[in-house]
Chains A and B, each alone.
Chain A
């Protein structure tokens, strides 16, 4: 199984600014002093292995969109979690891979219907191609309404009815496992304004959990055990780690998000193998996200009792093979 991240930012897309790029260049050239970077090969080596990702790259700014691929051979059925702005580059990739002949089926699993999770759909080019099939799965009664309303005048120039693909809506129920496109899919209700749902995907002995926009209250052992069961033995848990724990239980309590600390604790309880931080705070720059990763790895280390939990942080373009 392979997980490809197309949008990892929380709440609203962000873009690097000119001052941020300037700061990266200055940091890079400063580190290059005395390095004798006098040919392309040395420069590439330096950029890829000596500069940190926070200087040489960026965690990216698209809102939530994650693709889950089964091991090859690939079929014409695709799985996507959420339709944030990352759905636009994902759609482009699908067009360049499969052309415009149609015949592809996209299964979309919606955590919930907040803007940052649906805003990419009108820019998902496969939706405009006749012969494609898009099945939007979710647990909210307003699923179809939210997608149609987003494209209704005066908010968007192309009405939902003008999309040429065959688009269906499929209501799932929390706790009920379904077989969809070769995956076993189980939704779980989460604490978030207007409710959100996490998904457990299982196939070929691998398990990935997509759990974003989910607050954990900590005062309820039953709730905690419920999530530990939901995450049980997962190969990767993609987790809403938007806030610090202090913020999540004080000034930002009831805002519907969680922290790195609670994510690591739940994954340890569940015996998960990888913990991937997701839905990054829009105010966090690349160095803030990079330091959070270092700190979270340290937290995992000091709390480790059994097998180690690999700690990752998602970025637009990250691919993880499970």
Chain B
């Protein structure tokens, strides 16, 4: 998967797209890995802009959990923003909304990261 990324104020915004399912979760994680390595204490936090993600399955959620675990261990920060309605429902049913920082949109994520920096 090709990940679009851009620098926005102090954070890096990454935009995956399509379905994060059995078929695509691995390539998503691989594409994300270089960003995860850099996401550590004092570095730029990551915002995953999910506005173009149409679906996420258990395997995709697991990839997200692994990413969060790695970043946390390094002292960095990673958040998710702009879930589409279906993905938002999957987050709620799987309780990922309780363990992952989720923001309504990218701006809200950036504001929160800026004030907590």
Contacts and interface: CB of A to CB of B under 8 A. Distances in A.
Contacts of A295: 92-93
A172 interface: no
B94 A244 contact: yes
B22 A221 contact: yes
A249 interface: yes
Contacts of B59: 218
For the residues of B in contact with A, the DSSP-based class is helix
A290 to B, nearest CB: 14
A245 B86 contact: no
A245 B22 contact: no
Interface in A157-197: none
Most A CB contacts (10 A, CB to CB) among B22, B59, B86, B95 go to B95
Contacts of B99: 246, 250
A84 to B, nearest CB: 26
A313 to B, nearest CB: 14
B89 A245 contact: no
Contact of A249 (B62, B86, B98): B62
Contact of A265 (B58, B65, B89): B58
Contacts of B62: 218-219, 249
Contact of A261 (B22, B65, B86, B94): B94
Contacts of B22: 221, 224
Nearest to A243: B95
B93 A260 contact: yes
A302 B55 CA distance: 10
B90 interface: yes
A247 B94 CA distance: 9
Interface of A: 218-219, 221, 224, 244-247, 249-250, 259-262, 265, 295-296, 298-299, 302-303
Given A218-B62, A299-B93, 17 more contacts: A221-B22, A245-B94, A245-B96, A246-B94, A246-B96, A247-B95, A250-B69, A250-B99, A259-B58, A260-B93, A261-B58, A261-B93, A262-B58, A296-B93, A299-B89, A299-B90, A303-B55
